[in-house]
A and B are shown apart, each in its own frame.
With several copies, the nearest count.
Chain A
Amino acid sequence: MIGKVLIANRGEIAVRVLRALRDLGIASVAVYSEADRAARHVRLADEAYCIGPAPSAQSYLNADAILDVARRSGSQAIHPGYGFMSENAAFAERCEAEGIIFIGPPAGAIRSMGEKTRARQLMAAAGVPVVPGTLEPLGTPEEAALAAESTGYPVMLKAAAGGGGKGMRLVSDPSQIAAAFRDASSEAVKAFGDGSIYLERAVVRPRHIEVQVLADTQGNCIYLGERECSIQRRHQKVVEEAPSPFVSPEMRAGMGEVAVKAAKAVGYVSAGTIEFLVDQNGEFFFMEMNTRLQVEHAVTEMVTGVDLVREQIRIADGYAMSLGQNDIRIKGWAMECRIYAEDPLNNFLPCPGTIHAVRLPEGPNVRVDSAAFTRGEISMYYDPMVAKVITWGSDRGACAATMNRALMEFQIVGVHTNRDFLLAIVNHAEFRAGNLDTGFIGRNFRGASLPAGTPVPAADIAAAIYAFESSRKGACLPSAGTTPSPWRRGLDGR
Chain B
Amino acid sequence: MRYWIIRDERQIPVEVEEVPGGYTVTMDGKPYQVESSRILEGLYSLIIGGESFEVTVHSHEPGRYDVHMYDGMRPVEILSPLELVLKSQEGARAGHGASIRAPMPGKVVKVLAVEGQAVVKGQGLVVVEAMKMQNELQALSDGVVTQVRVKEGDSVESGAELVTIGEAAEAP
- What distance in Å separates the Cβ of B74 from its nearest Cβ neighbour in chain A? 4
- What distance in Å separates the Cβ of A311 from its nearest Cβ neighbour in chain B? 25
Tell me whether B54 and A43 are in contact (CB under 8 A): yes
- What distance in Å separates the Cβ of A75 from its nearest Cβ neighbour in chain B? 11
Tell me whether B63 and A482 are in contact (CB under 8 A): yes
A325 beta carbon closer than 8 Å to chain B: no
Tell me whether B134 and A492 are in contact (CB under 8 A): yes
- What distance in Å separates the Cβ of A180 from its nearest Cβ neighbour in chain B? 21
A25 beta carbon closer than 8 Å to chain B: no
C-alpha gap A452/B78 in the complex (Å): 16
Our pick among B48, B59, B66, B105 for the contact of A458 (Cβ within 8 Å) is B48
C-alpha gap A380/B68 in the complex (Å): 23
Tell me whether A483 and B99 are in contact (CB under 8 A): yes
C-alpha gap A43/B149 in the complex (Å): 39
B38 beta carbon closer than 8 Å to chain A: yes
Known: A380-B131, A462-B57, A489-B135. A453 touches B71 (CB 8 A): yes
A249 beta carbon closer than 8 Å to chain B: no
Tell me whether A462 and B78 are in contact (CB under 8 A): no
Which residues of A are found within 8 Å of B58, using beta-carbon distances?
A: 413-414, 416
Which size class do A's interface residues fall under?
A: 35 or more
Known: A468-B23, A481-B90. A461 touches B131 (CB 8 A): no
| Interface of chain A residues 1 through 44 with chain B (CB within 8 A) | 30, 37-38, 42-44
Tell me whether B51 and A466 are in contact (CB under 8 A): no
Which residue of A is nearest B85, CB measured?
Answer: A480
Which residue of A is nearest B12, CB measured?
Answer: A460
Known: A467-B65, A484-B140, A491-B136. A42 touches B52 (CB 8 A): yes
Which residue of B is nearest A461, CB measured?
Answer: B25
Tell me whether A463 and B42 are in contact (CB under 8 A): no
Which size class do B's interface residues fall under?
A: 35 or more
A121 beta carbon closer than 8 Å to chain B: no
Which residues of A are found within 8 Å of B78, using beta-carbon distances?
A: 460, 463-464, 467
Which residues of B are found within 8 Å of A352, using beta-carbon distances?
A: 104-106, 130-131
Binding site secondary structure of chain B = strand
- What distance in Å separates the Cβ of A268 from its nearest Cβ neighbour in chain B? 29
Known: A464-B14, A492-B134. A452 touches B73 (CB 8 A): yes
**A 473-494 binary contact with B (CB < 8 Å = 1; else 0):** 0000111111111111111110
Tell me whether A457 and B55 are in contact (CB under 8 A): no
B contact residues vs A (CB 8 Å cutoff):
1, 3, 5, 7, 14, 16, 23, 25, 27, 32, 34-48, 50-59, 61-76, 78, 80, 82-83, 86-87, 89-90, 93, 98-101, 103-107, 122, 125, 127, 130-140, 158
What would be 25 A-B contacts, judged by CB atoms less than 8 Å apart? A38-B45, A43-B52, A350-B104, A351-B104, A352-B105, A375-B39, A375-B40, A423-B71, A452-B73, A453-B71, A453-B74, A461-B27, A462-B44, A466-B57, A468-B1, A477-B82, A478-B63, A481-B87, A481-B90, A482-B63, A483-B140, A486-B101, A486-B125, A487-B104, A488-B135
